[in-house]
């Protein structure tokens, strides 16, 4: 595979220009064109010889849309193909305030959560910063065209992969997304979801980032959480919550906890009470969602009735909580599911 030019920031492209004896303003032109989704052959304000030299050495757009799957609720699933043939997925969700794209940070995942389709075959490989960014660029282009408005206004790192297990590439992606002349998605409009790699949550805060941090908790006690999420053996709940509090203290951003309700596993009223307790003491919010059924897994979503009781109990105890709609459910909305069903065909 050729190196990916989209992995580089304007400064790094500038260094390449300098080396080739090009004026430095070329770097900004190339950076903007790439972030609009252009292929080398479509960049018209650059001398042909320079384009040919770049094309020889680099990949411009590392992410191609393999297939789109519109859902009846307005969400759209994308299957993306990377240069080496690896398939990953994303979902575009339309809201009143804008469009949120859910992107992947790894092909597969090695965290092995019991309910998740992404982890079934383990980790294939990390995505590069440009491959994370390229998903957004590809959707912007597909939805708005090269000259159109940027369709994607918000990004959530909730596709396949554990972003904090691909730490440096994810950080570089976050910087690129906010860079001038790029896709213009700032940190306030990005959510990073983690299974709770506590030391990396602290490192993220220490590195000066202020994205919305979302922690997948899914159980209020270590016994149940360990069964669902092997990562809990390394970083038990106490450490995860303490790192979440640290993130709040450093950034001033409230932390969101994800909780997927699984019938007979984590959906009892007492567990709602325990969840309200462990997430209290600093500004937090809880997103509850009914588990998406994954056919390779035995776990089932909680009943409507227990979802309601669970939600009411959290409210009663003063927690800030929303019941999240499952968007794109009819096109295998949960992470990792679309890719699997596509490969099965
Ligand atoms: N690895 C990160 C981010 C990707 S997973 C993380 O685990 O947070 C994005 C979210 O989808 C997580 O909250 C994860 O717990 C959740 N998820 C995975 N499989 C699911 C399923 N079958 N139903 C509902 N949510 C699921
Ligand atoms: Fe990986 Fe997140 Fe799926 Fe767990 S839930 S296996 S951490 S992608």
* Contact of 136 with 143, CB cutoff 8 Å: no
* Contact of 78 with 90, CB cutoff 8 Å: yes
Which residue minimizes the CA distance to atom 3 of ligand 2? Answer: 116
Q: Alpha carbon 25 to chain centroid distance? A: 32
In 10 A of CB 50, how many CB atoms?
Answer: 16
Catalytic residues: 89, 335
pTM beyond 0.85, yes or no:
yes
Residue 17 C-alpha to ligand 2 middle, in angstroms? Answer: 40
Which residue blocks in the chain are alpha helix, DSSP H?
A: 10-19, 25-35, 48-57, 129-144, 167-178, 198-206, 222-228, 231-234, 237-251, 269-278, 304-316, 337-344
49 and 74 in one domain? no
Which residue minimizes the CA distance to atom 4 of ligand 1? Answer: 158
36 and 75 in one domain? no
Tokens 């789109």, residue? 68
135 and 32 in one domain? no
132 and 22 in one domain? no
112 and 254 in one domain? yes
The DSSP bridge pattern shows strands 63-70 and 76-82 to be antiparallel
Q: Closest ligand to 122 CA?
A: 2
CATH code (residue 48)? 1.10.150.530
Looking at residue 70, its pLDDT comes to 87
Q: Closest ligand to 166 CA?
A: 1
Sequential DSSP letters for 154-178: EEEE-SSS-GGGSHHHHHHHHHHHH
155 and 216 in one domain? yes
108 and 18 in one domain? no
**Residue 179 confidence class, pLDDT cut points 50, 70, 90:** very high
**pLDDT for 262-319, tens place per residue?**
999 999 999 999 999 999 999 999 999 999 888 888 899 999 999 999 999 999 999 9
Domain limits for position 50:
5-57
Number of domains into which the chain is organized? 2
Looking at residue 71, its pLDDT comes to 81
Distance in angstroms (rounded) separating the CA atoms of residues 300 and 322? 21
Surface-to-core class of residue 333, CB atoms within 10 Å of its CB (0-12 exposed, 13-18 middle, 19+ buried): buried
Q: Among 30, 57, 84, where does a domain finish?
A: 57
30 and 170 in one domain? no
């Amino acid at each position: 595979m050729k190196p990916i030019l989209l992995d580089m920031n304007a400064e790094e492209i500038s260094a390449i220009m300098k080396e080739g004896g090009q004026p430095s303003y070329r770097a900004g032109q190339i950076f903007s064109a790439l972030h609009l989704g252009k292929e080398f052959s479509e960049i018209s304000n650059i001398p042909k010889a320079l384009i040919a030299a770049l094309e020889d050495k680099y990949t411009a757009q590392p992410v191609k849309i393999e297939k789109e799957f519109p859902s009846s609720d307005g969400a759209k699933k994308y299957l993306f193909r990377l240069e080496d043939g690896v398939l990953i997925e994303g979902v575009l969700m339309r809201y009143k305030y804008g469009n949120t794209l859910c992107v992947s940070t790894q092909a597969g995942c090695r965290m092995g959560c019991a309910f998740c389709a992404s982890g079934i075959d383990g980790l294939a490989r990390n995505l590069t910063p440009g491959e994370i960014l390229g998903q957004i660029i590809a959707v912007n282009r597909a939805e708005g065209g090269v000259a159109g408005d940027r369709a994607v206004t918000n990004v959530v790192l909730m596709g396949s992969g554990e972003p904090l297990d691909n730490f440096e590439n994810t950080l570089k992606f976050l910087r690129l997304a906010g860079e001038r002349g790029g896709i213009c998605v700032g940190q306030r409009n990005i959510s990073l979801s983690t299974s709770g790699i506590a030391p990396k949550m602290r490192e993220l805060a220490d590195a000066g980032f202020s994205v919305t941090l979302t922690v997948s908790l899914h159980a209020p006690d270590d016994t149940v959480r360990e069964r669902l999420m092997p990562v809990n053996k390394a970083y038990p709940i106490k450490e995860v919550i303490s790192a979440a509090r640290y993130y709040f203290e450093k950034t001033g951003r409230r932390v969101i906890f994800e909780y997927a309700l699984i019938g007979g596993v984590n959906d009892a009223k007492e567990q709602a009470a325990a969840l309200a307790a462990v997430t209290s003491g600093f500004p937090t919010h809880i997103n509850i969602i009914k588990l998406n059924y994954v056919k390779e897994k035995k776990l089932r979503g909680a009943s409507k009735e227990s979802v309601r009781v669970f939600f009411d109990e959290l409210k009663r105890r003063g927690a800030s909580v929303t019941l999240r709609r499952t968007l794109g459910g009819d096109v295998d909305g949960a992470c990792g599911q679309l890719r699997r069903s596509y490969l099965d065909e």
